[in-house]
């Protein structure tokens, strides 16, 4: 009975009224959903880009024109297309157009350097690239060759009155980058994004899609252990995740919602949870290219947003930002928090500042987007929530295929229609994450945590981030949480560093508040930890730094900290 507690689904008794454990998922492609949405919401605004508005019907025409151009340029079903774009209407047009011709999207992080881009392009076999013009220099340095390169400028969808301030929208984030000379379009295979839309008719090909077999997206993992791996996500994976979330969070109604689309479209949080979840269901996306707090707040107010999704790092900034309360957060239906662990201090400070609650969610690239979420009105701070419909979760021993008793830490494993087919051209890596128990295909997430008596799950750390001290296990996140409670600590990252006597010892990289720099000592941080941590968990080394390296969605990049340490 103890081993099968997970199969008993104790979390179901906390499902909101009207939410069912299992729902029917339509066997449709992403584009079928979009076209059906346009039939319903044709005249409604789909995208508001700094005042430049695009209705659903206008968006469909642009997508159809671009898809027609892509097909005439030789793109066919199953071909991979690299998309290296900032958040913009062109990014959304590109996503749906590529899928409409049956090709596969491999989204590329705009923050990547040449070597990272080169690996993803070569590994995926992408021969067509849709790229922001100011990001093309990194491609030149990588020495990559393509059949087609389509360049987009950030000002293309701005209102005429704002086109001249296109660069200022980027606000210095990419100020050292420059657009290529117009002569680049004289090269064979180089095209302007907007010109293709203007010149081609809206007559896309009719392509048969098998939703459960045909791949829609090929995102790449973060590369925290070895080279990044391509994750095969089918049309069905994406559609399933969208419908499961809609069923669990029924508060969001078709055709009545608006959201700030600031999360990067190159990441599942922006691509699936914002674009793919919003556009087919009549939501208006207030697209933000530069994730500046002022822009996010202004776009939220201008678009009268009804729901919001952000990373913990953003809420940490906004809780102290002077203009945060210009947006009445209490009026929003849901404020999702995901992409990283939400610190308890951030969650409580947010409630005090805004009077609203952050609803924490959990997922990963390999699960399309989401497997766990907190029910609205019954959130538990520190918990990733409970499995959403059609989804199973359990805790397994990190080393063996056996269940861990309720309440004990182990590796989180999930099963459901949103789980990937596996890694691209890497059956060995796929086999390492798959396991069959009780006839169920479980996917090992690499995250360590436990399930409480009510079926709520908690994540403490990544398996690769465990610090092993004399055989004891130390969770880096647990140490970070304690250090974060020091009133003079602004940010922190903890890793294990080799020690010949004990294996590994915890080391803390600490960012102090500006008024505390030079006044708080390393010893004071260690003493602060003694009150709440066992002796072996206390950092043996504390290093004060100016900032903690973060991933593109604001997670502490422990990989970069380890590289710095080396």
The three-class DSSP label of residue 131 is strand
User: What would you measure as the largest C-alpha separation in the chain, in angstroms?
Assistant: 70
Q: What total of structural domains would you count in the chain?
A: 3
Identify whether 472 is part of a domain.
yes
Mean pLDDT of 116-142: 91
The three-class DSSP label of residue 457 is strand
Range name among 40-49, 162-171, 475-484 with the lowest pLDDT average: 162-171
Residues 456 and 383 in one domain: yes
Identify whether 317 is part of a domain.
no
pLDDT, residue 432, reads 93
> Are the C-beta atoms of residues 78 and 103 closer than 8 Å to each other?
yes
Residues 89 and 228 in one domain: yes
Q: For the whole model, what pTM was predicted?
A: 0.85
Identify whether 373 is part of a domain.
yes
Residues 436 and 486 in one domain: no
Mean pLDDT of 258-271: 93
pLDDT of 509 > 90? The answer is yes
The three-class DSSP label of residue 289 is coil
CATH number at residue 56: 3.40.50.980
End-to-end Cα spacing for the chain = 46
Identify whether 169 is part of a domain.
yes
pLDDT, residue 524, reads 94
pLDDT of 225 > 70? The answer is no
Identify whether 246 is part of a domain.
no
pLDDT, residue 100, reads 97
Residues 370 and 483 in one domain: no
Q: 394 lies in which domain range?
A: 10-22+335-461
pLDDT, residue 445, reads 94
CATH number at residue 527: 3.30.300.30
Mean pLDDT of 268-287: 94
Identify whether 261 is part of a domain.
no
Identify whether 105 is part of a domain.
yes
pLDDT, residue 174, reads 56
Quick: pLDDT tens for 45-86. 999 999 999 999 999 999 999 999 999 999 999 999 999 999
pLDDT of 228 > 90? The answer is no
Dihedral pair phi/psi, residue 78, rounded to 5°: 90, -15
pLDDT classification of 535: cutoffs 50, 70, 90: confident
Closest by CA position to 394, among listed 406, 382, 383: 406
Q: Which of 403, 436, 461 is the last residue of a domain?
A: 461
Closest by CA position to 385, among listed 552, 280, 248, 528: 248
Residues 386 and 486 in one domain: no
Per-residue tokens: 104: 């596969």
Q: Which of 417, 445, 461 is the last residue of a domain?
A: 461
Residues 485 and 395 in one domain: no
Q: 330: phi > 0 → left, psi -120 to 50 → alpha, else beta; which?
A: alpha
Residues 471 and 421 in one domain: no
> Regarding predicted confidence, which is higher, 481 or 226?
481
CATH number at residue 431: 3.40.50.12780
pLDDT of 167 > 70? The answer is no
Closest by CA position to 531, among listed 469, 563, 486, 474: 486
Report the relative pairing of strands 148-152 and 440-451 from DSSP bridges.
Answer: unpaired
Q: Which of 189, 204, 235 is the last residue of a domain?
A: 235
pLDDT classification of 1: cutoffs 50, 70, 90: very low
pLDDT of 550 > 90? The answer is no
Residues 373 and 389 in one domain: yes
pLDDT of 552 > 80? The answer is no
- How many residues make up the chain in this entry? 566
Q: What is the rounded average pLDDT for all residues in the chain?
A: 91
Residues 532 and 496 in one domain: yes
Over pLDDT 90: what percentage of the chain? 72
Residues 437 and 474 in one domain: no
Quick: pLDDT tens for 344-403. 888 999 999 999 999 999 999 999 999 999 999 999 998 999 999 999 999 999 889 999
Element (H, E) at 335: strand 334-337
Identify whether 342 is part of a domain.
yes
Residues 6+ away with beta carbon under 8 Å from 210: none
In the block, which residue shows the tokens 């609803």? 359
Residues 526 and 427 in one domain: no
Residues 6+ away with beta carbon under 8 Å from 457: 362, 372, 383, 384, 385, 386, 387, 393, 412, 449, 450, 451
Residues 436 and 476 in one domain: no
How far is it, in rounded angstroms, from Cα 541 to Cα 110?
34
Give the DSSP letter string of 316-343: HHHTT-TTGGGS-GGG-SEEEE-SSPPP
How far is it, in rounded angstroms, from Cα 473 to Cα 468?
5
């Amino acid at each position: 009975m103890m081993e099968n507690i997970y199969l008993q689904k104790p979390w179901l008794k906390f499902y909101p009224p009207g939410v069912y454990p299992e729902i029917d998922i339509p066997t449709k492609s992403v584009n079928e959903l979009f076209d059906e949405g346009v039939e319903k919401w044709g005249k409604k605004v789909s995208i508001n880009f700094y005042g430049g508005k695009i209705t659903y019907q206008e968006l469909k025409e642009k997508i159809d024109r671009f898809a027609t151009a892509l097909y005439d340029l030789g793109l066919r079903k199953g071909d991979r297309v690299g998309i290296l774009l900032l958040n913009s209407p062109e990014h959304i047009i590109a996503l749906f157009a590529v899928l409409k011709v049956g090709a596969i999207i491999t989204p590329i992080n705009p923050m990547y350097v040449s070597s990272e881009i080169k690996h993803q392009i070569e590994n995926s076999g992408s021969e067509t690239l849709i790229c922001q013009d100011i990001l093309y220099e990194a491609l030149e340095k990588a020495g990559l060759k393509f059949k087609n390169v389509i360049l987009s400028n950030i000002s293309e969808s701005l209102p005429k009155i704002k086109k001249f301030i296109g660069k200022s929208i980027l606000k210095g984030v990419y100020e050292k980058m420059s657009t290529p000379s117009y002569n680049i379009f004289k090269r064979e295979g180089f095209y302007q994004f907007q010109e293709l839309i203007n010149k081609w008719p809206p007559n896309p090909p009719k392509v048969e899609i098998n939703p459960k077999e045909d791949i829609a997206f090929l995102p790449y993992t973060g590369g925290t252990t070895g080279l990044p791996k391509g994750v095969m996500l089918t049309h069905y994976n994406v559609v399933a995740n969208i419908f499961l979330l809609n069923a669990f969070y029924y508060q969001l109604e078709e055709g009545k919602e608006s959201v700030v689309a600031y999360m990067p479209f190159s990441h599942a949080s922006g691509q699936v949870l914002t674009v793919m979840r919003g556009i087919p269901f009549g939501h208006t996306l207030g697209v933000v290219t530069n994730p500046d707090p002022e822009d996010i707040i202004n776009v939220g107010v201008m678009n009268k947003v009804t729901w919001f999704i952000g990373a913990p790092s953003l809420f940490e900034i906004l809780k102290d930002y002077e203009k945060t309360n210009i947006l009445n957060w209490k009026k929003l239906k849901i404020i999702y928090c995901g992409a990283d662990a939400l610190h308890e201090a951030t969650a409580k400070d947010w409630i005090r500042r805004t009077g609203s609650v952050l609803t924490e969610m959990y997922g990963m690239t390999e699960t399309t987007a989401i497997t766990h979420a907190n029910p609205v009105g019954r959130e538990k701070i520190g918990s990733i929530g409970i499995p959403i419909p059609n989804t199973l979760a359990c805790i397994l021993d990190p080393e063996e295929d056996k269940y861990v008793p309720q309440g004990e830490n182990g590796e989180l494993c999930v099963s459901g229609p949103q789980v990937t087919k596996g890694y691209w051209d890497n059956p060995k890596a796929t086999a390492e994450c798959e396991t069959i128990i009780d006839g169920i295909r479980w996917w090992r997430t690499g995250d360590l945590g436990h399930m409480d008596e009510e079926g709520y799950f908690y994540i403490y750390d990544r398996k690769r981030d465990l610090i092993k001290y004399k055989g004891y296990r130390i969770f880096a996140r647990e140490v970070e949480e304690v250090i974060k409670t020091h009133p003079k600590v602004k940010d922190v990252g903890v890793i294990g560093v080799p020690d010949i006597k004990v294996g590994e010892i915890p080391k803390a990289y600490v960012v102090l508040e500006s008024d505390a720099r030079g006044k708080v000592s390393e010893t004071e941080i260690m003493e602060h930890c003694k009150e709440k941590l066992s002796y072996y968990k206390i950092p043996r080394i504390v290093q004060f730094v100016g900032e903690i390296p973060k991933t593109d969605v604001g997670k502490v990049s422990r990989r970069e900290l380890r590289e710095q340490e080396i």
